[in-house]
Amino acid sequence: MNMTLRSIELAGFKSFGKKSSVSFLTPITAVVGPNGSGKSNIVESIRFVLGEQSMKSLRGKGGVDLIFKGSKVTSASNHAMVTITFDNSKKIFSFTNSGLGVSLDYDEVSISREVFTDGGNKYSINGTEVRLKDVVDLLSSVNIGSSGHHIISQGEADRVLNASNKDRRAMIEDALGLKIYQYRIREGERKLDKTILNMKEVQASRREIAPHLVFLKKQVQVIEKAREMREELGALYKTYFSAESTYINIETKRLQTTRHDLDTKMKSIEEQIGALKKDSNKDEVESEHSKKIKEYEAKMLDLRSMKDELVRKLGRIEGVIESIERELSRTGDSNEKVIPESEWRGIVANIKEKIDEALRLEDVAEITQVLHEMREQISALDSKKEYKEHTIDSKVGKEYEEMKDVREKITADLQKISENEKSILTEISTLRVREQEMQINLRSNERVLYELLRAQNEVTSNQHSLHFEEEKLLLIKNAFEMELGEAGALIGREALDYKNIEVSGEIVRQAQDDLRRKIERIKIKLEDAGSGSGPDVMKEYEDTQERDLFLGKEIDDLNKSIESLRVLIVELKETLDEEFKTGVEKINKQFQEFFALMFGGGSAYLSVVMENKRVKSAQIDDDESIEDMDHDGEELEFERGIEINVTLPHKKVKDLHMLSGGERSLASIALLFAISQVNPPPFLVLDETDAALDEANSRKYGNMLENLSKYSQLIVVTHNRETMSRANVLYGVTMDSSGVSKLLSIHLEDASAYAK
């Protein structure tokens, strides 16, 4: 044997409420004890720790049924744990399909399994928590499979006989160590199904993005066209901006120069005009001379008015004097009317006083007013004359003289006024001569001033025109700045590259206008193209295209993987079939020998049969023939099974159902032993497989046990004394009154008592 089972330890498993352990240090170990003591629980613990998933095989409905439920003296466990330990001194354990990082470089390998009250399980290898898959993988490396061919529980000795052809094939494959192929085939088929599913998902994803990719491609074409238009627009912009910038700079300099020249010329003209006006200011000259002349003319009018008034007054005074003289010279009757002396004297005194005042003031209006009053007073006196006797006295003579004095004074005033008139006329004449001379000079200055004003108006007109040009250039500058901003938004900073372009020759505005119209047409086309989201669309298209290429490559890779998996599965199946065929031939040879030994002759052999299996097919592969499909769309799949053929000596028995219970037990034992001889497992567990044997067959059974122990370690649960006698070590199982199973090592003599 390459390896052996060292021990098994139970804690809280079924009836083993306390920790118990069994050591397997000999080729044959027997477990004995009365019925119901818990012997079969040891067998089931081995099934349990090796990964058995069927609760039926463990005689339970769920994981909680495997946990010790407690007794009167022992508390219930919250979990059950079984640990099995193998000898690994020859380092035969290995992982075949797992990358688990568990070191197996030890002389012992232990496998533990725990089950908890919630049904959860925990697996460990050498104290490291692992998966069930890892445990199965490890056991497969030493020909310990999950079918349980190496563990025959109570009442299952003829399980191989009752099994279906398919299940029987599985049991034999497991015994032959071919389970690894089945495992790899299932793994391959699982990977194949998953890969096919992945490919369908990838294909669906690719089909899903295909319309969007077409849409994006069209959008990209539009964007590419827009990009070409932007490139053309960029070139046009650069040409336009360089020429426009050059034109603006040239015009700005020209207008600045013109503005400077006009301002300089205007300043010079204004200075000349100012100097000319300062030297001969027409308005001031005219104003000064005209004012003086008008003053003199006003004085002349006043003097003439005063003179006229004095002349009129003088005439009246002379009239009065003449009247007095006539009166004085008159002789006549005494009945003539006369004015009383007192009255006319008062009047004369008043008139004299007013005349003196008027003369003193040289007020013509006042003199005129005095003369008017004299006229009224004289008229009043005339109406008040009384006819008196004419008398001439000294008073009349005195008044007469006074009147004469007034006349002389008026005459003198008139003379004075005449002299003033003459003087004023001379001054006016002088002023008029001077005015004429200045007028002549002014007319000469006016001609110069006219020319200056004409030149000033011309400069002003040019300034207005220049202002219009400046305003026009300002509009061009503003339009240029706006267009530059729009260009930056459309084509980016490269619009500023126009500064690096040199412009030669004359810049024609018409050509610029034509270029601007061409730019506007391209801008409209760009707006219609809707290129605003271009970068996003291009990014999405590139991502989608990359995704499509990735999916296409993934589909190719998946197709290759599918093909590779299909080839692998076919190769594994072919290898499995070949190994199975070879193994069945070996089993048949051993089966015939053990069967003849057990029955004293006869024949027994296994035959491979083909069975049809109908399965639903989702699709027909390219290499699949239509003949492989029935009319309902089902695929016909062929499965290989194992049939058992036996012939008893001296009996016409060819059907297993015709065998008696004892015969079936012997046939099943023969087959199981034959299977174990072909590819011996590390150990065999036999739970009361000898229960139906008589004494003679028990000896034959014992002989076969000793023969098998050369190849596999045997653990037998038995009540048979013959079987016990072949064991090297016996363990007794008892159960106390509290319902807790206990283990103890016993001698053969003591075992006989337990077997009764």
Q: Exposure pattern of 141-173 as b/e (b: 16+ CB <10 Å)?
A: bbbbbbbbbbbbbbebbbbbbebebeebbbbbb
Mean pLDDT lowest for which of 434-448, 589-603, 694-708?
434-448
pLDDT higher than threshold 80 for residue 261: yes
pLDDT tens-digit map of 480-497: 888 888 887 777 777 777
Per mean pLDDT, which range of 20-29, 468-477, 689-698 is the poorest? Answer: 689-698
Contacts of 147 (CB under 8 A, 6+ apart): 170, 171, 174, 175, 179
Task: Tell me the pLDDT tens digit for each residue of 289-312.
Answer: 677 777 877 877 877 788 777 777
pLDDT of residue 93: 84
The answer for 580, left when phi > 0, alpha when psi is -120 to 50, beta otherwise, is alpha
β-pair type (20-23, 79-87): unpaired
| Helices within 330-388 (DSSP H only) | 341-361, 364-383
List of E strands, 474-570? none
Q: Comparing 553 with 752, which gets the higher pLDDT?
A: 553
Q: What pLDDT, on the 0 to 100 scale, is given for residue 334?
A: 45
**What's the CA gap between 11 and 521, in Å, rounded?**
92
Per-residue pLDDT, averaged over 725-739, amounts to 89
Which pLDDT score, from 0 to 100, does residue 45 have? 92
Q: What pLDDT is recorded for position 618?
A: 46
Encode pLDDT of 196-232 as tens digits. Answer: 999 999 999 989 989 988 988 888 888 788 778 878 8
Residue 261: both structure tokens together: 């020249």
pLDDT score, position 29: 93
**pLDDT at residue 622, as a whole number:** 46
Higher pLDDT, 377 or 598: 598
DSSP tally for the chain: helices H, then strands E: 15, 16
- The backbone torsions φ and ψ at residue 743, rounded to the nearest 5 degrees and listed phi first, read -115, 145
Give me the mean pLDDT over the 376-394 stretch.
Answer: 56
Question: What are φ and ψ of residue 6, in 5° steps?
Answer: -85, -50
pLDDT over 90 at 671, yes or no: no
688: left (phi over 0), alpha (psi -120 to 50) or beta: left
pTM of the model: 0.50
Mean pLDDT to the nearest integer, 126-155: 78
Instruction: Tell me the pLDDT band of 338, cut-offs 50, 70 and 90.
Output: low
Categorize the per-residue pLDDT at 623 as very low, low, confident or very high, splitting at 50, 70 and 90.
Answer: very low
Using the predicted structure, report yes or no on whether residue 539 has a pLDDT greater than 90: no
13: amino acid identity, one letter: F
CB 689 within 8 A of CB 665: yes
Angle at 352 between CA 347 and CA 353, to 5 degrees: 100
**pLDDT class of 58 with cuts at 50, 70, 90:** confident
Instruction: Look at the chain and count its residues.
Output: 756
> Which of 289-303, 329-343, 354-368, 512-526 is predicted least confidently?
329-343
31, β-bridge pairs: 717, 731
Question: Among 86-90, 145-149, 232-236, 405-409, which is the least confidently predicted range?
Answer: 145-149
Q: Which of 222-226, 321-325, 687-691 has the highest mean pLDDT?
A: 687-691
Which of 220-224, 343-347, 395-399, 646-650 shows the highest mean pLDDT?
646-650
14: its two tokens? 């079924």
Residue with tokens 């103890």: 744
Structure tokens at 579: 């190994």
- In percent, how much of the chain has pLDDT > 90? 19
Q: What is the CA radius of gyration of the chain?
A: 76
d(CA 543, CA 549): 10
Confidence of residue 393 (pLDDT cuts 50, 70, 90): low
pLDDT digits (tens, 9 = 90+) for 17-29: 889 999 998 899 9
Least confident residue range of 170-179, 372-381, 444-453, 627-636: 627-636
Q: What is the mean pLDDT of residues 543-554?
A: 90
> pLDDT at position 32, please?
93
Number of Cβ atoms within 10 Å of the Cβ of 551: 21
What is the rounded CA–CA span in Å between residue 95 and residue 98?
Answer: 6
pLDDT confidence bin for 335, thresholds 50/70/90: very low
Q: How far apart are alpha carbons 755 and 691 in whole angstroms? A: 12
Q: Which pLDDT value is given to residue 676?
A: 78
C-alpha to C-alpha distance for 248 and 244, rounded to whole angstroms: 6
**Would the pLDDT of 153 be above 80?**
no
**pLDDT score for 389:** 45
341/423 Cα distance (integer angstroms): 45
In this prediction, residue 600 carries a pLDDT of 84
pLDDT, the chain, mean = 80
Residue 175, pLDDT score? 75
How far is Cα 700 from Cα 684, in angstroms, rounded to an integer? 18
Percent of the residues in the chain that have a pLDDT greater than 70, as a whole number: 81
74-104 pLDDT, tens digit per residue, is 889 999 999 999 999 888 888 765 556 678 8
Residue 332's pLDDT band (boundaries 50, 70, 90)?
very low
Residue 73 scores a pLDDT above 60: yes
Give the pair of three-digit tokens for residue 177: 């160590």
Rounded to an integer, the average pLDDT of 237-256 is 87
Question: For residue 530, what pLDDT is reported?
Answer: 63
Beta-carbon count within 10 A of 291 CB: 10
User: Residues 609, 642: contact at Cβ < 8 Å?
Assistant: yes
Rounded to the nearest 10 degrees, the angle between the axes of helix 282-329 and helix 394-491 is: 160
DSSP structural state of residue 53: -
Instruction: Work out whether strand 28-32 and strand 713-717 pair parallel, antiparallel, or are unpaired.
Output: parallel
Residue 620: the pLDDT is: 43
Which pLDDT score, from 0 to 100, does residue 616 have? 55
Query: What are 607's two structure tokens?
Result: 């035959």
pLDDT digits over 636-658, tens only?
Answer: 566 778 888 888 887 776 677 77
How many CA atoms lie within 13 Å of 559's alpha carbon, on the beta-carbon side? 9
φ/ψ (deg, to 5) at 362: 55, 40
